[in-house]
Amino acid sequence: MNHLNCSTNQTNFKQIIKVDRITIEVLLKQGISVAKIAQHLGKHRSSIYREINRGSVTILNSQLKQITKYEAEAAQNLSDKRNLNSRKKPKYLGHENLLDKISTLVRKKKYSFDIIAGRLKLQNNNITFSTQTLYNYYHKGLLKIADFHLPNFGLIKHTKRVRRANISHKSIDLRPQEVNERTEPMHWEMDCLVSGKNQGSALLTLSERVTRTELIYKLKEKTAASVVDALDKIQDSLNGDFRFFFKSITTDNGSEFQDYEGIEKNQRTIQFFAHPYTACDRATNENLNREIRRFFPKRTKFDNVSEKQIKKVQNWMNNKPRKILGYLTPLELMSKVCPQFINFLTT
C-alpha cells in the first residue's frame, strides 16, 4: 500500500519542524498533491498551503525565466527568525539601572535576594523580580556582586559541644503560651558572642521575639557580673520601665547567665533557661547572631571593636527588611506594637 494513503491522526497540532519542511519539498518535487502531503504529515491542508506560501522563493531557471518554488532551507530560516522575534524579552531590559541598585544593596546593605524581591513588591514598584529570578541573574553574571557578598557565604556549622552548667531556675517549659506563640511583644532571647579563644571582651545580644529587634552591648568580659551590670545600665536608661519593655528573657545555660537573682533583680523581668544543647529554643537569637558574625567573624577580638561599630551593626539589623515580618523592618514593626520603645532604640 502506498505510504501516502496511510491514515494519520490529525488532532496533533504541533508546529511544522525542519524535517517536515524537507518532506514537503521532496514530495512537491514528486508531484504529490497538497492534500496527500497534509495527510502524510498529519496536518490540515490549510497549514501546508500557508507553509508553502511562506517558504516559496522566486528564482531564475536555466532559461532565465522566473519561477516560484518551495525551498525547505528558506522556509526554516524564515521560521527561525520569526520565532526569535516572538520570544519574550528579558524582564530587566530597559531596567539595567535597577539591577545596579540591587547589586549595591547586596554589597553595601548586605541584603539577601529574598529581602530585595519582597521589598520591591511591598513598595509597589513598577517592576518587580522574584527571588529565583535574581538568583538567575546572579548566575548569568548580570549583577555586579561576588560570591562572598551573599549572606551565607563561608558560614561553617560547628557541631562541637561545650559543657554547660545545669539549669538552676525556671525552665523554658514554664514559659507562657503567649510567649511561645509570639502573640505578645517585648519578650526577649539573650546570648553572648565571645572573642577569639574565648578571652577578653564579649558581646551581649538581646533579640525581641515578635519584631526581631536587636540590642547589642559590649561586655568587658564574659561573666555573670558583666551581664547583670549591662542589664542595670539598660534599666537606668529606661527610667524604671525595664519590666514593661523586658517582660521575659530566655537564655541558654551558660555560666554567664547563672546569676538569675541578679538578672531578675527586684522582679524587673523573668528569666527562662532553654533546654541544654537545644539552640532551637532560642532560634531568633541564634539566627540574628549569625548576621552579627558577618561583621565580626569568629576569632574577632572585641577589645578592638568600638561602641560606634557595634551601634552601626545594631542599626543595620533593625533597619533590615525581613521576610518573616512581611518585608517590614524590625523598627517599622516595633513602631506599631510598642512605639514607646522607639525612642530608646534611636538614642
- Per-residue confidence at 76, pLDDT binned at 50, 70, 90? confident
The dihedrals phi and psi of 216, each to the nearest 5 degrees, come to -130, 130
pLDDT tens readout for residues 133-167 = 898 888 877 888 887 788 776 555 554 544 444 44
What local confidence, expressed as pLDDT, does residue 153 receive? 67
Report the predicted TM-score, pTM, of the whole model to 2 decimal places: 0.64
Find the DSSP H helices in the chain: 18-29, 34-41, 45-55, 72-86, 96-104, 113-122, 131-139, 177-180, 224-237, 242-245, 260-263, 283-295, 307-318, 330-337, 342-346
Q: Are 211 and 307 in contact (CB under 8 A)?
A: no
Question: Buried b / exposed e across 167-178, counting CB within 10 Å, b at 16+?
Answer: bebbebeebeee
Question: Does 75 or 250 have the greater pLDDT score?
Answer: 250
Q: In the predicted model, what is the mean pLDDT of the chain? A: 86
Q: Give the DSSP letter of residue 323.
A: G
What local confidence, expressed as pLDDT, does residue 157 receive? 54
Rounded mean pLDDT of 19-29?
Answer: 91
- Per-residue confidence at 74, pLDDT binned at 50, 70, 90? confident
What local confidence, expressed as pLDDT, does residue 168 receive? 52
pLDDT tens readout for residues 153-210 = 655 555 454 444 444 578 999 999 999 999 999 999 999 999 877 788 999 999 999 9
What local confidence, expressed as pLDDT, does residue 79 receive? 82
pLDDT tens readout for residues 280-305 = 999 999 999 999 999 999 889 999 99
- CA-based nearest residue to 113, from 145, 71, 81, 65: 145
- CA-based nearest residue to 274, from 170, 145, 132, 142: 170
What local confidence, expressed as pLDDT, does residue 293 receive? 93
C-alpha distance from residue 91 to each of 86, 95, 127, 139, 257 (Å): 15, 8, 8, 16, 52
What local confidence, expressed as pLDDT, does residue 154 receive? 58
What local confidence, expressed as pLDDT, does residue 1 receive? 43
What local confidence, expressed as pLDDT, does residue 8 receive? 45
* pLDDT higher than threshold 50 for residue 25: yes
Domain boundaries, the chain: 3-86, 96-149, 172-346
- CA-based nearest residue to 315, from 338, 340, 342, 290: 342
The verdict on domain 172-346 having CATH code 3.30.420.10 is yes
pLDDT tens readout for residues 206-243 = 999 999 999 999 999 999 999 999 999 999 999 878 99
Residue 251's DSSP bridge partners are: 273
Q: Give the DSSP letter of residue 142.
A: -
Domain 3-86: which CATH class?
mainly alpha
What local confidence, expressed as pLDDT, does residue 90 receive? 72
C-alpha distance from residue 249 to each of 80, 172, 274 (Å): 66, 10, 10
Question: Does 87 or 254 have the greater pLDDT score?
Answer: 254
